[in-house]
């Protein structure tokens, strides 16, 4: 005879009514989060147990969900970004290895009610911003959530996988300074996720320690020609190096540098801005005073190794982040608690190429 699925257990709303508390209080009590008194937490758990509820009864659907919620109001295709596409591929493999399917949700569904009924055992949220409506809905349901990127306002018991963005930013800036840069611009300021804020804060602190005025150039996804750099590249205090925190930024800087005749180390003779080509302002060297420009971009796109010039990149190692996040999420689903709340740190890596080396090497 065919097996019948077990009858559904009591919901958080059922427990809330019986205990005469809110569903949020029930969620906090059952998940060990929030700021509840010991007596309230104990009473809610006693009521839940009497109703036959298990706060973590293990996997029900054998399905995990993943969503990028930074720009939840915009219909943007995040899989076009190398970081996200590589992370999703690795997360799918990791989920399958644990015996789970992985469902990827569109980026523009942040305000929709599907999050209140989505049939998954747990969610992996990428770059969750402050006030994230998706996270709010998932917390109200009591679903296990693990973050790629530190949540802006983590709860007790939250777990996230991330890089040390402060250390990585300082490594990049020190590398550029060692290559001769004296005026480094940061191409940033678009997203509300923790990553952007952490990198920007580290950059501003690094500048303050050296008595330098920070130069922030705003990033815009559709600025393929890099017009955001026009005023900076023509002003009296022009930067001699740029660190781009978003994947498309490196190509935008390459376009802007070519338009303004700025030489990036490793550029081939015969292209705009290269020393010795009539009509271009570049001269040997790399400081911003003589027509040179150093470049580093945070990106997982292998094409940057083949550009002209080859661009130095920062890798955040999305494969390791995905594997770690999925492992933590599965453990949270199956055991009911995280072994150690807080951050799991994955080292980032600086891939040095021609664009950030001292120009006299070329």
Whether the per-residue pLDDT at 283 is higher than 50: the answer is no
Tell me what percent of the residues of the chain surpass a pLDDT of 90: 58
The pLDDT of residue 59 is 64
More confident position, 362 or 200: 200
Whether the per-residue pLDDT at 88 is higher than 80: the answer is yes
Whether the per-residue pLDDT at 343 is higher than 90: the answer is yes
The pLDDT of residue 85 is 95
Whether the per-residue pLDDT at 342 is higher than 60: the answer is yes
Mean per-residue pLDDT of the chain: 86
Rounded CA separation 72/141 (Å): 19
pTM across the whole model: 0.79
The pLDDT of residue 195 is 94
The tens digit of pLDDT for each residue in 91-116 reads: 999 999 999 999 998 766 655 667 77
Whether the per-residue pLDDT at 278 is higher than 80: the answer is no
User: 331-351 b/e with 16+ CB inside 10 Å = b?
Assistant: bbbeebebeeeebbebebebe
The tens digit of pLDDT for each residue in 115-149 reads: 777 899 999 999 998 888 888 888 888 899 999 99
The tens digit of pLDDT for each residue in 158-180 reads: 999 999 999 999 999 999 999 99
**Encoding tokens for residue 201?**
């804060």
Q: How many CB atoms lie within 10 A of CB 244?
A: 25
The tens digit of pLDDT for each residue in 231-259 reads: 999 999 999 999 999 999 999 999 999 99
The pLDDT of residue 69 is 86
Q: How far is the CA of 335 from the CAs of 54, 66, 122, in angstroms? A: 11, 20, 13
Whether the per-residue pLDDT at 279 is higher than 50: the answer is no
């Amino acid at each position: 005879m065919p097996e019948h699925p077990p009858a559904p257990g009591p919901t958080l709303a059922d427990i809330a009514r019986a205990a005469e508390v809110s569903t949020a209080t029930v969620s906090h009590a059952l998940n060990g989060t929030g700021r509840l008194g010991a007596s309230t937490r104990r009473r809610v758990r006693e009521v839940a147990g009497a109703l036959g509820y298990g706060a973590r009864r293990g996997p029900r659907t054998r399905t995990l969900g993943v969503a990028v919620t930074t720009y939840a109001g915009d219909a943007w295709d995040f899989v076009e970004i190398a970081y996200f596409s590589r992370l999703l591929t690795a997360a799918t493999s990791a989920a399958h290895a644990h015996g789970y399917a992985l469902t990827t949700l569109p980026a523009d569904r942040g305000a929709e009610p599907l999050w209140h009924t989505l049939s998954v055992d747990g969610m992996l949220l990428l770059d969750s911003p402050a006030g994230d409506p998706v996270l709010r809905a998932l917390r109200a349901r009591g679903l296990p959530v693990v973050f790629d990127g530190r949540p802006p306002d983590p709860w007790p018991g939250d777990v996230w996988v991330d890089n040390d963005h402060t250390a990585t930013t300082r490594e990049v800036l020190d590398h550029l300074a060692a290559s001769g840069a004296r005026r480094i611009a940061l191409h940033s300021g678009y997203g509300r996720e923790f990553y952007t804020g952490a990198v920007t804060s580290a950059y501003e602190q690094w500048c303050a320690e050296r008595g330098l005025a920070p130069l922030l150039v705003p990033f815009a996804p559709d600025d393929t020609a890099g017009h955001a750099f026009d005023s900076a590249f023509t002003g009296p205090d022009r930067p001699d190096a740029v660190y781009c925190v978003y994947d498309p930024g490196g190509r935008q800087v390459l376009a802007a540098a070519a338009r303004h005749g700025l030489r990036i180390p490793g550029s081939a003779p015969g292209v705009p801005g290269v020393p010795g080509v009539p009509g271009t302002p570049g001269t040997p060297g790399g400081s911003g005073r003589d027509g040179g420009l150093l470049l580093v971009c945070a990106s997982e796109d292998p094409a940057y190794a083949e550009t002209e010039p080859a661009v130095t990149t920062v890798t955040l190692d999305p494969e390791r982040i995905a594997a770690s996040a999925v492992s933590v999420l599965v453990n949270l689903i199956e055991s009911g608690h995280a072994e150690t709340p807080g951050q799991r740190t994955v080292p980032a890596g600086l891939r040095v190429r021609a664009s950030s080396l001292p120009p006299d090497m070329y």
